[in-house]
C-alpha cells in the first residue's frame, strides 16, 4: 500500500549522474564501485556538502561483484565519506535505486537521519562469469584433499562441458522467460502495433537528442574520467542521432520470430552508469539554509504475476499513489516513466486509459486516465539515455525534479516496472526555486 508522510518531510536537494554509456564502451574497464565513488564525489563537490555531514548512504545495484558486495559502503569510503557513516546496498531489479531513494525517505521521515545520499551504480560490461556447479563443488572439496590420488578422484564424473564457463542468465528465474518475450506478449495483449512502438522509440531518441543539444541534460550530468587517459566523458552515448523511422522499421524481431514486434531499436540497451541524489529532512534543510527543490510525498511498490504481467507494474502503482494524494493524472505536470521497451510503455498507457482494465484489475469504476504525451519523458528516457539497472531510478527522480523547475510545474510522477513482476510509483511536489 502507499506510504505517505507520517512524520517529517523528506526533500530532494540535488542530484547528478555520470553520462550513461553502452556496455562495453566508455566504462568497459571500470567496476560498479569505480562509478559509484565517482558519482558520490561529484555530488559532494557540486553541493558543497562536507562529507562528514552525510549520515547514511544507500545505493542500488543488480549485477553484484562479490569483491564489492556492499558497493554502497565501498563507494562511500572511496569518495571520502567518513568511515563512521553507515552505508548499505539494495537490489530490486530495475527499481533498485528507486528503493534506495525511498529507503532514504523512510530514514529521514522517522528521524533516523537528517542528511543522506541515495543512488545506484551498475556495470553490465563485466558481468560475473562462473565455473559450473560440478566444478565449483569439487573446488570446495579440494580443500580436504591431501594426496595426488585425492585430487585425481575429484575429476571423476566431470564431463568436458562442465569445464565451460557459466554465463549469467537473462531469463526470469521464476518463469524461464526472457523479458523481451514478455514485452512482446504484453504489446500484443494491448493491441500495440509494431509501427506505434517504432514511432515511440524514435520519439525517445529525438527528445533526448534535443535535450542534450540545448543543454537541458547538462544540469544532471557530471563528467567521468577513466584511466589511463583520464579524458572526460561528458555525454550519454546511447542516444542515436542517426536513427529514423525507416531504419527502425527494417529491424527484425529481437525475441519472438517471425511475428514479434519488439526489436533491438525499441528495447533499452545494456548500459553502464551511476547516479546519486542528496536528500534531507525539510526542517533540517531550512535550519541550515539549504534550499530544497522538491518534497518526496507518497510512494508505493506493487507486484503482479511475473508470467502474465511482468512489465505492467506502473499501471497498478500509479493509481495507488494518485489516490493516496487525492490527485488525478490531470493534476500531474511532469511524468517520468521508465522505458524498458517501447511496447511496455505504450501498454501501460493503454491500461491506464482503459475502463475494462480498471474494472477487472484495479476494482475501479472508470479508467485512471489518459497521459498527455507532452508531459511524458520530454528529455528522452531509458530507450535513448540508457538503462544501468541499479542507477535508472535515481535518474528518473532527478530528471523529474529538474523538469518541474524548468517547466514551472507543481507535481511530478515517477514510475517504473521491474523484473520479477514488480513496480513502483513516487509523487514529488516542487519547492520554490
pLDDT for 170: 78
Structural domain boundaries enclosing 119: 10-127+268-430
383-395 pLDDT, tens digit each: 999 999 999 999 9
Catalytic residue among 16, 338, 417, 424: 417
Residue 16 bears catalytic tag: no
CATH of the domain at 69: 3.40.47.10
pLDDT for 204: 99
Residue 220 lies in a domain: no
For residue 380, the surrounding DSSP H or E stretch is none
pLDDT for 4: 57
The reported pTM is 0.95
Q: How many domains does the chain have?
A: 1
pLDDT for 388: 99
Residue 230 lies in a domain: no
Helices (H), 21-95: 32-47, 71-78
What is the C-alpha separation between 136 and 138, in angstroms, rounded?
5
Residue 149 lies in a domain: no
320-351 pLDDT, tens digit each: 999 999 999 999 999 999 999 999 999 999 99
Residue 188 lies in a domain: no
pLDDT for 342: 99
Residue 241 lies in a domain: no
What is the C-alpha separation between 358 and 215, in angstroms, rounded?
39
Question: Which neighbouring-strand residues pair with 250?
Answer: none
Residue 426 lies in a domain: yes
- Determine how many CB atoms are found less than 10 A away from the CB of residue 284: 16
Residue 273 lies in a domain: yes
* CB 372 within 8 Å of CB 334: no
Residue ranges of the chain with per-residue pLDDT less than 50 = none
Catalytic residue among 94, 205, 338, 424: 94
How many C-alpha atoms does 357 have within 13 Å on its Cβ side? 19
Say what the alpha-carbon torsion angle 423, 279, 331, 345 is, to the nearest 10 degrees. -30
Residue 312 lies in a domain: yes
Catalytic residue among 42, 205, 338, 387: 387
Amino acid at each position: 500500500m502507499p506510504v505517505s508522510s507520517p512524520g517529517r518531510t523528506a526533500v530532494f536537494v540535488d542530484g547528478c549522474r555520470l553520462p550513461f554509456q553502452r556496455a562495453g564502451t566508455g566504462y568497459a574497464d571500470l567496476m560498479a564501485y569505480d562509478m559509484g565513488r565517482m558519482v558520490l564525489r561529484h555530488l559532494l563537490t557540486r553541493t558543497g556538502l562536507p562529507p562528514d555531514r552525510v549520515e547514511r548512504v544507500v545505493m542500488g545495484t543488480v549485477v553484484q561483484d562479490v569483491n564489492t558486495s556492499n558497493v554502497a559502503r565501498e563507494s562511500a569510503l572511496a569518495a571520502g565519506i567518513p568511515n563512521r557513516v553507515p552505508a548499505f546496498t539494495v537490489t530490486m531489479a530495475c527499481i533498485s535505486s528507486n528503493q534506495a531513494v525511498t529507503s532514504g525517505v523512510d530514514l529521514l521521515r522517522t528521524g533516523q537521519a537528517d542528511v543522506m545520499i541515495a543512488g545506484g551504480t551498475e556495470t553490465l560490461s563485466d558481468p560475473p562469469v562462473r565455473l559450473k556447479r560440478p566444478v565449483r563443488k569439487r573446488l570446495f572439496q579440494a580443500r580436504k584433499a591431501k594426496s595426488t590420488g585425492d585430487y585425481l578422484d575429484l575429476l571423476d564424473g566431470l564431463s568436458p562441458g562442465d569445464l565451460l564457463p557459466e554465463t549469467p542468465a537473462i531469463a526470469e528465474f521464476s518463469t524461464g522467460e526472457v523479458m523481451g518475450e514478455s514485452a512482446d506478449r504484453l504489446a500484443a495483449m494491448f493491441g500495440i502495433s509494431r509501427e506505434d512502438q517504432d514511432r515511440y522509440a524514435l520519439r525517445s531518441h529525438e527528445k533526448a537528442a534535443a535535450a542534450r543539444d540545448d543543454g537541458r541534460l547538462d544540469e544532471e550530468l557530471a563528467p567521468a574520467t577513466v584511466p589511463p587517459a583520464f579524458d572526460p566523458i561528458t555525454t550519454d552515448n546511447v542516444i542515436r542521432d542517426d536513427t529514423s523511422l525507416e531504419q527502425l522499421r527494417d529491424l527484425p524481431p529481437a525475441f519472438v520470430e517471425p511475428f514479434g514486434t519488439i526489436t533491438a531499436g525499441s528495447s533499452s540497451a545494456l548500459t553502464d552508469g551511476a547516479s546519486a541524489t542528496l536528500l534531507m529532512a525539510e526542517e533540517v534543510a531550512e535550519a541550515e539554509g539549504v534550499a530544497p527543490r522538491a518534497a518526496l510525498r507518497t510512494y508505493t511498490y506493487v507486484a503482479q504475476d511475473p508470467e502474465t504481467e511482468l512489465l505492467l507494474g506502473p499501471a497498478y502503482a500509479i493509481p495507488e499513489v494518485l489516490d493516496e494524494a487525492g490527485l488525478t493524472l490531470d493534476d500531474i505536470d511532469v511524468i517520468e516513466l521508465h522505458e524498458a521497451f517501447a511496447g511496455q510503455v505504450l501498454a501501460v498507457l493503454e491500461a491506464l486509459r482503459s475502463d475494462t482494465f480498471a474494472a477487472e484489475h484495479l476494482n475501479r469504476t472508470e479508467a485512471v486516465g489518459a497521459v498527455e504525451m507532452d508531459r511524458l519523458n520530454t528529455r528522452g528516457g531509458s530507450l535513448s539515455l540508457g538503462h544501468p539497472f541499479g542507477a535508472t531510478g535515481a535518474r528518473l527522480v532527478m530528471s523529474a525534479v529538474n523538469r518541474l523547475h524548468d517547466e514551472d510545474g507543481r507535481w511530478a510522477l515517477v514510475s517504473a516496472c521491474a523484473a520479477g513482476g514488480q513496480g513502483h510509483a513516487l509523487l514529488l511536489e516542487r519547492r520554490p526555486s
